[in-house]
Chains A and B, each alone.
Chain A
Amino acid sequence: MSFLTEYAFIIIPIIKVAILAFVVLTVDAYLTWLERKVIAHIQARWGPHRVGPHGLMQPLADGLKFIFKEDPLPTNVDKTTYFLAPFLALTLSLTALSVIPFGPQQFTLFGYQSGIGVAEVNISLLVLFAITALAVYGVALAGWSSNSKYSLLGGLRSSAQMISYELTLTLSVVGVLLIAGTFSLRDIIQQQDNGQLGLLGWNIFGFSKDGVGFTQIIGFLCFYIAAIAETNRVPFDLPEAESELVAGFHTEYSSMKFAMFFISEYTSMITISCLATILFFGGWLSPFPASWTFTHYLPSVVLIPLGLWVIFDGTRYENVLGRIVLPGLGAVMAAIGAALIVFPVVNDAIQGVFWFLSKVFVFLFVYIWMRGTLPRFRYDQLMSFGWKFLLPVSIANVILTSAVVLWRMH
């Protein structure tokens, strides 16, 4: 007992890191499944459909394939840097998630206060930007060390792109900082809590309780566009433009090292979605006024019909495995939904996490949606858009927000 109280500050974070890493890696795996499914349906195809019912075991199959693939070392690579790059990319992207608070609860275990999230520091936002600033090394070094012209071009493009858009990314958040006056993500969320107006209190609308808020819609648009460029996703995926550069910076990587780049990209997507949720969309706050307690049943209202539909869909599935697995899965979903109605205490406790994850899911879906819809930018368009349009607009947003905040405070 005394051992636990003495070392709780190190034991509890380690356990939380393990849980978070497990959850995030699983979510990453199923994000690839979701992405393939959604894009397939956008393009009127089925997507993964062979491994497991509705291709649900596809991520597992992909993972096994990554592990058992041969991992050849290209000639004349710079070995240290070549091995360092994927580790750097993966470590940094996973570290970034550690400062995100996923729910409002704070509890004290063995005299150590913690919340839902690994570490809540009062400079969480700066820590996130520090890690984003370092993230470019993974991509740049991979491109340089591979000793291949495609990789080098990909690495160069990505460093230039990430330097350019990082400015906008940072400046677009300044508006939120001016309103909140803190770098702590928890405080930024709490500052957006406007009990009576619900979602209007969020920074995107800006009717916060203390009355200094100002709509950050310009800031959000700049942030989201810059964030897509930072994560090298469509329409800013020039570092890995397959029609021009084979696969860009990770052309020469295979097997698990390729998978590490892949995982880091998806983890960055999750981090950015969490950040967009926290900064502009009120984090774990419900979009409804606090007095509307009936909205607390929304998780059940979503889960029970979804579960029933999965059961119904499963009974008609074409093979036996699907007819067993899918109804089982649906039954679990419906049971969780029903349990939430039966136990209101649990239901109230999960509200924050439910809203947080729902908003994050919407942003992740938008990422995939854009990949299915938009064509890639040309390189000069990318640069002139970033420097000549996005950067001035985000600076204008900073000036405008400061003026409004100053005026409202006096």
Chain B
Amino acid sequence: MSGALVIFFVLAAAAVLSSINLIVQRHPIHSALSLVVVMVALAGLYLLMGAEFVAAVQIIVYGGAIMVLFIFVIMLLNAGEEERTNFSKLATFAGIPLAVAVTGLIGAAIARSTLVLPAPQPSGALTSTRTLSTLLFSEFVYPFELTSFLILVAILGAVVLAQREN
């Protein structure tokens, strides 16, 4: 087994186990921390595919900014452990079979897929900042600007909600 494959399995296992841990944990902070581990493991996977810029941005934006905000809010509200209620009937009778069915469907799709993606080449010629920004502001300018606009709307919404009291 090559080194890259070993690293892939370690990171993938970290991501999957942390995702499970995220749901199992009862304390919001522990769940949030598990999510941070998922983000960092994903960043590692991006790095393995030779997308080092995306990897760094994944950690900066998701691992850093967004999750710090999550934890900050949890700390500020001093949220305690969540209390487990009994499983709802709907979850038992509809949820579990549905989850099994979806997992089976995705598994079958992956197993039967004949599509072979070319292995990403972590080549020596890595993407320069200039190339990346040129792409972002020429070919992908509309999605990029639309996303910025979406964030702007979200910020305005937050401001309006916060000022409703006055």
Q: Residues on A close to B: CB < 8 A?
A: 78, 80-81, 121-123, 126-127, 129-130, 132-134, 136-137, 140-141, 143-144, 152, 155-156, 159-160, 162-163, 166, 170, 177, 181-183
Contact = CB atoms under 8 A, between A and B. Distances in A.
B105 to A, nearest CB: 36
Interface string B65-79: 100110110011010
Contact of A133 (B29, B68, B130): B68
Contact of B75 (A132, A134, A144): A144
A156 B129 contact: no
Provide the main secondary structure of the chain A interface.
helix
Given A78-B27, A133-B65, A163-B68, 10 more contacts: A121-B52, A126-B56, A129-B56, A133-B64, A134-B36, A137-B36, A141-B29, A156-B75, A163-B72, A166-B64
Nearest to B64: A133
B129 A181 contact: yes
13 contacts: A80-B30, A126-B56, A133-B60, A133-B65, A136-B64, A137-B71, A140-B75, A143-B75, A159-B75, A177-B129, A181-B128, A181-B130, A182-B129
Contacts, number: 81
Interface of B: 27, 29-30, 33, 36, 40, 43, 52-53, 56-57, 59-60, 63-65, 68-69, 71-72, 75-76, 78, 126, 128-130
A156 B29 CA distance: 14
B60 A152 contact: no
Nearest to B39: A134
Given A137-B36, A152-B75, A159-B75, A166 B65 contact: yes
A239 to B, nearest CB: 13
A133 B71 CA distance: 13
A130 B53 contact: no
B132 to A, nearest CB: 10
Which 9 pairs between the two chains have the least Cβ-Cβ distance? A133-B64, A126-B56, A130-B59, A159-B72, A133-B60, A123-B52, A144-B75, A130-B60, A130-B56
